[in-house]
Amino acid sequence: MLEKAYQTISFDSKKCNGCNKCVEACAIVKSNSSDLVHSRIQILKDDQTGEYKTILCRQCADPQCVKTCPAKALSKNEETGVVEWDSTKCVGCLLCTLACPYAGISFNIKTNEVMKCDLCGGDPECVKACEPRALKFRNEATLYNKYGELEDLYVSGLSACLGCNAELLIRHTLRYLGPETVVATPPGCIGGVGGVGVNGKTGTKVPSFFPLLTNIASMLAGARRYYNRIGRDVTMLALAGDGGTVDVGFQSLSGAAERNEQMIYICIDNEGYMNTGVQRSGSTPYGSWTTTTPVGTVLRGKSSDAKPLPMIMIMHNCQYVATATMAYLDDYYRKLEKAYQASKKGMAYLHIFSPCQTGWRFPPNTLIEVERKAVETNMFPLWEYSHEKRSLRFTYPVDNPLPVYEYLKLVGKYKHLDEAQINHIQETTNNNIELLHKYIREDGVQSDQARTGDRELVSNY
Amino acid sequence: MINAETKYLIIGGSHAGLSAAEAIRQYDYDGKISIVNKEDLLPYSPTVLPYIISDKVTIDQVCLRNTDYFKRNNIDYKTNKQVQELDIDKNLLTMKDGEEVKYNKLLIASGASPSAPPIEGLSDVPYHVLRTFDDARKIKEAMSSVQSCIVLGAGLIGLHAAENMVKAGINVTIIEKLEQVLPGYFDNQAAGIIQTVMEESGVRLITRKSVVKVSYTNSKYTLFLDDGSEVQTELLIVATGVKTCLDFCQNSSLETQDGILVNDLMRTNVDNIWAAGDVAQAKDFFGQEKVLNGILPDAVEQGYIAGMSMSEDPAINPYLGGIAMNTYTFFGNRSFTVGLSNPPVNDNQYQIDILYSPASLRFQKFIFYKDKIVGCSAINIEIDPGIIRQIIKRQIELGQTKRKFVSYPQETGRILMSNLWQ
């Protein structure tokens, strides 16, 4: 039984320059010759993307080669995690090469035997030979810490509520975007917790300021135009609530989008004006309790559907529009990267589903589950729209969405809903998904699909 | 009569049965698993028998699971247990030695055993087959005192046996009733290359002939062929095919044809009975009918699915269908085949790309259906069989890369799988 994280070789293709020194090093240590055919690692260039790929045994947790070998020549070492090949038992049937989907074990035409990476007993030569440090030898558990290694550009000690999603969002966002960023934080929770500054000290290591709730996008547009004029490429970032985006700041956002101003505009949608006491906004969904859409004998929460702002932003010809939520962090980072690239050309808009445990009434430790259920019921579908491709793509398609009740029951602001209201919400949800499908162009370039493996994978191998 | 009860009962301790036990344990930590094996040995693969004959490995070395494994995983592995009768209504399996085992769920992974071709007199003569360790031991023993051998059947077992004979200095002749070696796996061009190697290595090959009668006197066999000719030999190995081991199911309500019929989760028509491996007749990847697919990697996959289904593991994915595949190494050459070896007749939506170089013993054939690979076979080519198998299974549309693929299959395939592995 596998109980711990193993040491592994990681490969960052962005750092690889194709020098092949890793390949040479492996060949030398494994065969005492510089004939590259003996190398257990291969570096190949994908002509379509220009990226380098590494062909190497993945030391799988569930190795198919081990399951297939009829001679028990392959086994998974539970101490080191290495899939070991015993040449004294190998009969040369090559069934392992038929089992491995990655060419991790392959036939060596000079030795007439199979060969595979064995991590050089714990000190891999390829890693040592890699000058640009594309190859690293590290613990598997740290692979997912890549975000943690980036510098947090917000100060510690922000006074956000216990379990605040927005704090999670803003820290990750600024970690990724880095110091060449200007942040516009309108009145709202983020400013309220000290995100811009407090007591005369700044809350960030980058310039950040309070625009008005009504002119976030136009202020950023102006700042960017000035930086452009003096020849500096600085990212403009808006961290705005739904109130400032969907309601009172909409006109300036709409104008900035139409003018294709260069910025990343992130709408942190907690479905209401939370900082000022949980009032409804145009983004508050039907049926929600808020202080301005109370629940009594006549009124049963908000009586109108939310304004579907992400869809509206598609119609604004933005360079890039996407929806995201923290429960799908890898998805968010990918979209943040695209937004960053798009912001060099014009408007990039990200709409983040950001549940507020204080305003919505749910236990803070269920935040991620609330987000997950919102996605799995299709109440908050994850998609992206690129102006270049003129097409929408679901980045996390949900084949069998759960009934909306599975989400609604987790959130206190919906606890008064009756059956008719829940049906209404289900209908609106279904309708929204259908509408989103209309933005998918059949002939749209879906090249990402094959590369990220949307196609169903066979897992029993 | 000893009575025993178990939650999961698995008939057969080879690849499918072991794979199922592993899958069950991954999800059900406690449920009692019992495996009954008709042989008196720890599990091993019939695939390695030719290498045991040639002394490349010993039976102990190639043990697939040892007693420590069974103990750690709380699996009751019983040997010397041949099945006598299956009582589906009572959930009871009776062994030939009288033991009765009651089960909640049953997996039949009893495999297949050599079938006897319709040759007059065959049942009266002592002949060899090669399916179990005991068969291998007997062949090895016999080899020490003979100088000639005839192998009936040019399938994988027959060819491996012939290679064993050549390497031991024994004159060997293969008699095959079809027109080529390895029919069903390779097309006739590829088979031709393999035949050339076999013959140049000293194997005599007779194709398109059947044996109609055999007799045995003074330790010599006389085989009478259908063209009227006769051949003699001191050692006779019959490797003309296998039949599924399901006699104990014949009087039951289990639906069978050539094998035990199963659905995409390896379940039979009986709710608590599954079948996997060589004995199972399951969905074909390419066609509509259910087929037998006696291939090691397939047995592992089917067994795993059966185990997941039996333990109600929610992560189960259904069986996508059997794909013919194999690797075959012979006299220092290597070959493999995955998928179709020939396109269906009268269907011109299939494209074929062939590289045929008999002088250098190289062969590469791709069969495309629209933009997808549906078959690939190669001899002595630098290519990754496992990647080709994935491309076929995942029905990947090659589009632009098709042309590059046939020219540089290894590189193109590796880049493709590197992109797809997430």
pLDDT digits (tens, 9 = 90+) for B50-100: 999 999 999 999 999 999 999 999 999 999 999 999 999 999 999 999 999
Q: Which range (A222-236, B2-16, B20-34, B157-171) has the least confidence?
A: B2-16
In a mutational test of the A interface, the residue from B383, B418, B422 whose CB has the highest number of chain A CBs within 10 Å is B418
Query: What's the rounded mean pLDDT across residues B371-397?
Result: 94
Distance CA B189, CA B184 (A): 13
**At A234, phi and psi to the nearest 5?**
-120, 135
Instruction: Give tens-digit pLDDT for A331-364.
Output: 999 999 999 999 999 999 999 999 999 999 999 9
Average pLDDT of every residue of chain B: 94
B52 touches chain A (CB under 8 A): no
B62 closest CB neighbour out of A46, A71, A102: A71
B385 closest CB neighbour out of A70, A97, A109: A97
pLDDT band at A443 (very low <50, low <70, confident <90, very high): low
Set of chain A residues whose Cβ sits within 8 Å of the Cβ of B384: 97, 100, 103, 106
Give yes or no for residue B117 having a pLDDT over 60.
yes
Q: Tell me if B386 and A455 make a contact (CB, 8 A cut-off).
A: no
Set of chain B residues whose Cβ sits within 8 Å of the Cβ of A450: 396-397, 419-420
Whether the CB-CB separation of A47 and B401 falls below 8 Å is answered with no
Q: Tell me if B45 and A109 make a contact (CB, 8 A cut-off).
A: no
So where are chain B's domains?
A: 3-113+243-310, 122-240, 340-420
B54 touches chain A (CB under 8 A): no
Q: Which range (A194-203, B148-157, B193-202) has the least confidence?
A: A194-203
Q: Tell me if B396 and A91 make a contact (CB, 8 A cut-off).
A: no
Distance CA A304, CA A251 (A): 21
Distance CA A37, CA A115 (A): 10
Which amino acid belongs to residue A113?
A: E
Set of chain B residues whose Cβ sits within 8 Å of the Cβ of A91: 48, 51, 56-57
Q: Tell me if B327 and A91 make a contact (CB, 8 A cut-off).
A: no
Q: Tell me if A98 and B389 make a contact (CB, 8 A cut-off).
A: yes
Query: What's the rounded mean pLDDT across residues B299-321?
Result: 94
Q: Tell me if B385 and A106 make a contact (CB, 8 A cut-off).
A: no
Q: Tell me if A101 and B386 make a contact (CB, 8 A cut-off).
A: yes
Set of chain B residues whose Cβ sits within 8 Å of the Cβ of A460: 301, 304-305, 308, 317
Which amino acid belongs to residue A64?
A: Q
Average pLDDT of every residue of chain A: 92
The distance of B60 to chain A (nearest Cα, Å) reads 10
Residue of chain A whose alpha carbon sits nearest to that of B336: A98
pLDDT band at B421 (very low <50, low <70, confident <90, very high): low
- Looking at domain B122-240, its CATH superfamily turns out to be FAD/NAD(P)-binding domain (3.50.50.60)
Give yes or no for residue A5 having a pLDDT over 70.
yes
Cβ count near B55 (within 10 Å): 10
Set of chain B residues whose Cβ sits within 8 Å of the Cβ of A53: 414-415, 418-419
* Strand spans (E) along A325-435: 347-353, 383-386, 391-394
Give the number of beta-carbon pairs within 8 Å between A and B: 137
B421 touches chain A (CB under 8 A): yes
Distance CA A266, CA A228 (A): 21
pLDDT (0 to 100) of residue A461? 24
B393 touches chain A (CB under 8 A): yes
* Separation in Å, CA A201 to CA A161, A168, A206, A226: 21, 21, 12, 25
Set of chain B residues whose Cβ sits within 8 Å of the Cβ of A101: 386-387, 389-390, 417, 421
Whether the CB-CB separation of B172 and B150 falls below 8 Å is answered with yes
Q: What percent of chain A has pLDDT over 70?
A: 95
A103 touches chain B (CB under 8 A): yes
Sequence-ordered alpha helix ranges (H) in A293-380: 309-314, 329-342, 357-360, 367-376
B142 touches chain A (CB under 8 A): no
B325 closest CB neighbour out of A54, A92, A98: A98
The distance of B173 to chain A (nearest Cα, Å) reads 23
Q: Tell me if B296 and A459 make a contact (CB, 8 A cut-off).
A: no
A209, with CB counted inside 10 A (0-12, 13-18, 19+), is middle
Cβ count near A106 (within 10 Å): 26
Higher local confidence (pLDDT), B410 or A4: B410
Structure tokens of A183? 């942040």
Binding-face residues of A in 181-240 toward B, CB within 8 A: none
Q: Tell me if A95 and B413 make a contact (CB, 8 A cut-off).
A: no
Whether the CB-CB separation of B349 and B370 falls below 8 Å is answered with yes
Distance CA A397, CA A377 (A): 11
The distance of B390 to chain A (nearest Cα, Å) reads 6
The distance of B62 to chain A (nearest Cα, Å) reads 5
pLDDT (0 to 100) of residue A451? 32
Domain at B3-113+243-310, CATH class: alpha beta
Set of chain B residues whose Cβ sits within 8 Å of the Cβ of A97: 327, 336, 384-386
pLDDT (0 to 100) of residue A148? 75
The distance of A361 to chain B (nearest Cα, Å) reads 32
Whether the CB-CB separation of A209 and A185 falls below 8 Å is answered with yes
Set of chain A residues whose Cβ sits within 8 Å of the Cβ of B317: 456, 458-460
Set of chain B residues whose Cβ sits within 8 Å of the Cβ of A93: 47-48, 327, 329
Q: Tell me if A71 and B320 make a contact (CB, 8 A cut-off).
A: no
The pTM score is 0.74
- Paired sense of beta strands B171-175 and A83-85, if any: unpaired
**At A100, phi and psi to the nearest 5?**
-75, 125
- Reported residue count of chain B is 422
Binding-face residues of A in 17-76 toward B, CB within 8 A: 42, 44-46, 53-55, 58, 64, 67-68, 70-72
* Separation in Å, CA B192 to CA B197, B203, B336: 9, 14, 15
Whether the CB-CB separation of A349 and A308 falls below 8 Å is answered with no
Interface predicted TM-score (ipTM) of this complex, two decimals: 0.95
Classify domain A165-452 at the CATH topology level. Answer: Rossmann fold (3.40.50)
pLDDT (0 to 100) of residue A300? 96
Q: Tell me if B419 and A451 make a contact (CB, 8 A cut-off).
A: yes
So where are chain A's domains?
A: 7-143, 165-452
Distance CA B233, CA B147 (A): 8
pLDDT band at A442 (very low <50, low <70, confident <90, very high): low
pLDDT band at A448 (very low <50, low <70, confident <90, very high): very low
Rg (CA), chain A: 26
The distance of B362 to chain A (nearest Cα, Å) reads 14
The distance of A97 to chain B (nearest Cα, Å) reads 6
Instruction: Give tens-digit pLDDT for A38-67.
Output: 999 999 999 888 899 999 999 998 899 999
Q: Tell me if A98 and B386 make a contact (CB, 8 A cut-off).
A: yes
Q: What is the DSSP string of B213-263?
A: EEEEETTEEEEEETTS-EEEES-EEE-S-EEE--GGGTTSS--BSSSEE--
Looking at 3.20.20.70, 3.30.420.40, 3.30.70.20, 3.40.50.700, the CATH number of the domain A7-143 comes to 3.30.70.20
* Separation in Å, CA B281 to CA B112, B220, B239, B257: 12, 39, 21, 8
Which amino acid belongs to residue B180?
A: Q
Residue of chain B whose alpha carbon sits nearest to that of A456: B394
A94 closest CB neighbour out of B48, B317, B329: B329
Residue of chain A whose alpha carbon sits nearest to that of B299: A68
Set of chain B residues whose Cβ sits within 8 Å of the Cβ of A74: none
- Paired sense of beta strands A320-324 and A383-386, if any: antiparallel
Whether the CB-CB separation of B363 and B190 falls below 8 Å is answered with yes
B312 touches chain A (CB under 8 A): no
